Chain A
Amino acid sequence: MTVLVLVEDGEPSQQTLTLARTWSDSLHSVRMDAVTPFAPDAIAAIVQRAADALSAAAVFAAGTDRGNDVMARVAARTGLPFAANCIAATAGEVVEVTRQRWGGSLLEKSLMMTVRPLLTTAPYAFRAAEGFTTIAVDVQRYIDELDPKDLVVRVAEHIDPPGGGVSLAEAKVVVSGGRGVGSKEGFAIIEELAGLLGGRVGCSRVVTSAGWRPHSDQVGQTGTKISPDLYIACGISGATQHMAGCKGAKKILAINADPQAPIMSLADYSVVGDLKEVVPAISAEIRKRR
């Protein structure tokens, strides 16, 4: 039995390989950048044909934007079922999968009726082993035989991010404000602390809905998912929608007047108090010690 793994441009996702290895020792791979510029329908066509050629028992990819996109296209072309963001999948006549819902706030156990499950793996959701290798599929033949209509959707242009600096997703420290900040102006103290720590400002969904911050600052299930070394959540209650975006943080410090706010028990560190008092005090303390 062999399985096919769709790997991202650079290194394959160890997470994905870890799950794929529970199915088979024989891992074949197709690279997402087999066609450049990126053309998701073309990749999906290649995956479809490679899987057929290999008689792959399953196809795996990482549950990234592109991973889920291409896998859904494979599903659409083949009529096979697709389970996104899995953390477990057991091989068998009926495939039992455990996958994330609500951005990871809930888990779903489902049974897949299929000969070839299409699965993506949830990032950060389970421990990945290291050191797996794959056999690269020779895709040139499939590329040569591509149907031109599979090249209609294709990256035509890339726009670099404005301003430089680290992105929210990559920042080592993120200081976020929520409803408790109270206003657009209230973010001054959040910005100050983020600046002192060399980090980025984030916020919760309430804040972007109110128009206090742009959506690009939003941490959460429908915003940016982050994995900084430290996440400081100020005046954020910790609704599931928000936690889905920040649970990848190595450490979380929550500052909230309400010790019963959900985030206060989901964080590594907590300070009970009004953020308008606590945040400036931390900034002052940092300055004092410099």
Chain B
Amino acid sequence: MALPKHARVVVIGCGIVGNSVAYHLGRLGWRDIVLLDKGPLPNPGGSTGHASNFIYLVDHSKEMTALTVESVRQYRELGVFTESGGVEVARTPERMQELTRRMASAKSWGIEPVSLVTPAEVKKLVPFINEKIILGGFYTPGVGVVDSLRAGTLMREAGIASGALQVAANTEVTGIDVKAGRVSCVRTTGGDIEVETVVVCSGVWSPRVALMAGAHIALTPAVHQMIDVGPVPRFAGARSDIEHPIVRDMDTNMYERQAGGDLEIGSYAHRPILYNSEDLPSVQQAALSPTEFPFTQADFAPQMEHALELMPEIVGDEKVGVKYAINGILSLTPDGMPVLGESSDVAGLWSASAVWVKEGPGTGKTLAEWMVHGQSEIDVHASDAARFHEHQKTRAHVRARAAEGFNKTYGIVHPAEQWASNRNVRLAPFHQRERELQAFFFEAAGWERPFWYESNAALLDEFGDRITRRTAEWESRWWSPIINAEHLAMRQRAGIFDLSAFTIFDITGMGALSAVQNVALRQMDVPVGRNVYTPVLSPHGGFKSDLTIMRLGDEQFRVVTGGASGMSDKKWFRDHLPADGSAQLHDLTSAMSTIGLWGPRARDILSAATSADVSNEGFKFGTCRWIDVGTVRVLASRISYVGDLGWELYVPMEQGLLLWDTLWEAGRPHGLAACGIGVYGTTGRLEKSYRAHGNELETEYNVVEAGMSAPRVKAEDFVGKEAHLRHREEEPAAILCSLTVDNHTSKSGEKRYMLGREPIVERDGKRIVDRKGRGSYVTSAGAGPSVGKHILMAYLPPDKAHEGEELAVEYMGERYAVSVAVVGATPLFDPENLRVKA
């Protein structure tokens, strides 16, 4: 078939992802869609072709669960889903506890039915299991198996039938031309196609394809071992591919599923075996397929023992042979999430990569919505292709983190768990000082940030009973009571914070004002020297981000945002610069360091270090200006994310250490404490009911629901305005509230502390769902040392959003009483905001 000379979009890759992206683009009205693959159809030889094809529904990630659930809906609609049920079995008490967390996630994300089952019940479900070695299981009846190749074929056919789609198999992309930073032409072995948009859905080859356009896709091909044993006498009469529940043997990182007359055994337990995209063999060179590598027996030896233990009847049968064994190649990313969205390297180059069969169609739909409407129904910020900082796109980083993450595929991963590999890649200028103070570092966007300082242990005695101790191992992990002590020291005296992980960029030029007006909800035409905290809305009026913008000049605005969302926010601003080139974006992240100084003594300390007027009258809240601190010229911004008097101090990177030392010296007489991000991001923030992007703020919730709508809406146009105006007219479907835990004591008598993402339910355990179908869950959780409470934030339907409303939170298989403390944005601590304005 001859390729067209021009296409609206070329989708590269006919795996489950490419097929569904192309299909959904057509469904949403796009035409002139061309779908290519270098391999044959229906199985072009990528990872889809050897996938085990089963789908478990519950993941701790809300985003991943939503993509999976949507995928299952589509697979069912296509008639390629066979429900089999699935049991995740536990061999250890730790895993049993983890399964209660899975129950909680299921409830938070609305996956029903699910249940914890006893070994005897597992045996009933899976008669060939050795129930003696397990302690129980987590049963999801809705688990099933799909025919992903058939699903792809059906989607292609529908796309072709609608006239929207042309498909060319056996057509290899040889180049992607870029003109003025934008894709212009896809060169293939079947001819060249001029394009507006390209979507790279090439799985393990995606990095290679993207690189043709000069773009980076941070994934690595990696091995997942699978064997197929049979014939299994028990399955001899099997009438279909799957008739028994699929078992995940979580503690050994393995799964076992019936596949017709055989049993398929897969493993994520072996050593990480990584490849590079350019090293994969061609169809001709490969003995099986380019993504089915020769099996390395030695890596699987312990897994055989494990499989034998769990399913001796089948695996121990001398007549059951290993019929097939491969090192299947799949995609891994440095943070375990897919790579979705437009590249920040090249305009018009989109990616839907590192997507597995279980989330394929949902991802296809999501990406198509994003491309067509500028926003998807499911918030996929954690998968945003633009999320990666430069160092995170390097091969060394991708490989190190993928290797570390691989064995966590079925792992028990603590929500605060830190990566061990490739650390110390971005260091604050005062990093050495932090080491001297025995900082415990967490990582943010590659930056090493103190989460607390062990040297502050002495504060524990000072604050004594006001500091809650945790006895349960789970919530003591990645935590220290010192965080609470630092918090109280800040509230009582002052704290100094390392905020180097901020992403900072300037918007300058004649069009700068209109550029920032266009993306910010709040009025940006403010006097020079004002700082404005503003939501950034998605086209549908949800939260794209929230950040601070300082007006430094008539034509200069400085945007400050978090490290995690920094790259994605930067792309958003860049994409919304005026088309006429009248405004420019300059990234200052690596030029500026930031120190936070807050607490009742902050002014005393700063004034000791500067001759500038930092009095309340001389330096009002909400303003910013340059001040001299010794020989350092500092941009000081009076603002606070912890609810106390103080400043963010922006300093040239090379003078950061000098500023730190100066403030430290000045603060000594005032009892200045170094405070970690545990205070900044959790305790200080939660006491003040400050929202955080990715927790409370997502595209799925709007400004009114978040309790952040201002009395008036600016006259100027901005992204999401129409939707925002509409939301202001509606009764909100949910309202963000702060709740406090009434009773922490578990049945065993131990006090327990929630960490976030747990379901908020009625006292009798009934799930709470708003009228848009969104369940209530804990968006953020943490201690409020000054208020003496454990604080949970959650969206609640209006009928539950009343102060004093008695509800419950489910945690580790038990329910704990909670009450609504405040509705909306009113803080628990210092509700009049006297301190920040002092």
Contacts and interface: CB of A to CB of B under 8 A. Distances in A.
Interface of A: 239, 256-262
Interface in B23-59: 38-42
Nearest to B172: A260
Contacts of B38: 260
Interface in B441-493: none
Contacts of B346: none
11 contacts: A257-B40, A257-B42, A258-B170, A258-B283, A259-B170, A260-B38, A260-B39, A260-B40, A260-B283, A261-B40, A262-B284
B40 A258 contact: yes
Interface string B275-295: 000000001100100000000
Contacts of A257: 40-42
A262 B281 CA distance: 14
Contacts of B170: 258-260
Contacts of B169: 259
A262 B169 CA distance: 16
A272 to B, nearest CB: 8
A261 B44 CA distance: 11
A50 B169 CA distance: 62
Contacts of A259: 40, 169-170
Interface residues of B, number: 10
Give the secondary structure class of B's interface.
loop
Nearest to B42: A257
A260 B282 CA distance: 10
Given A258-B39, A258-B40, A260-B170, A239 B287 contact: yes
Contacts of B39: 258, 260
Nearest to A257: B40
Given A258-B283, A260-B38, A261-B40, 12 more contacts: A239-B287, A257-B40, A257-B41, A259-B40, A259-B169, A259-B170, A260-B39, A260-B40, A260-B170, A260-B283, A261-B283, A262-B284
Nearest to B44: A258
A257 B40 CA distance: 7
Contacts of A260: 38-40, 170, 283-284
A259 B284 CA distance: 11
A260 B287 CA distance: 14
Nearest to B40: A258
Interface string B156-183: 0000000000000110000000000000
B55 to A, nearest CB: 25
A191 B40 CA distance: 26
Nearest to A210: B323
A273 to B, nearest CB: 10
Contacts of B284: 260, 262
Contacts of A256: 40
A84 to B, nearest CB: 25
Contacts of A262: 284
**Residue among A256, A258, A259 with the most chain B CB within 10 A?**
A258
A256 B170 CA distance: 12
A259 B189 CA distance: 13
Contacts of B287: 239
A242 B528 CA distance: 78
Contacts of A261: 40, 283
**Which 10 A-B pairs have CB atoms at the shortest separation, nearest pair first?**
A258-B40, A259-B170, A260-B283, A262-B284, A257-B40, A260-B170, A260-B40, A259-B40, A260-B39, A260-B284
Nearest to A238: B284
Contacts of B42: 257
A30 to B, nearest CB: 43
B783 to A, nearest CB: 61
**Residue among A239, A256, A260 with the most chain B CB within 10 A?**
A260
Nearest to B41: A257
A244 to B, nearest CB: 15
B513 to A, nearest CB: 56
A261 B284 CA distance: 7
A72 to B, nearest CB: 30
A239 B284 CA distance: 8
A256 B43 CA distance: 13
Nearest to A262: B284
A262 B285 CA distance: 9
A259 B40 CA distance: 7
A261 B285 CA distance: 10
A103 B643 CA distance: 80
A260 B42 CA distance: 13
B699 to A, nearest CB: 42
A262 B283 CA distance: 9
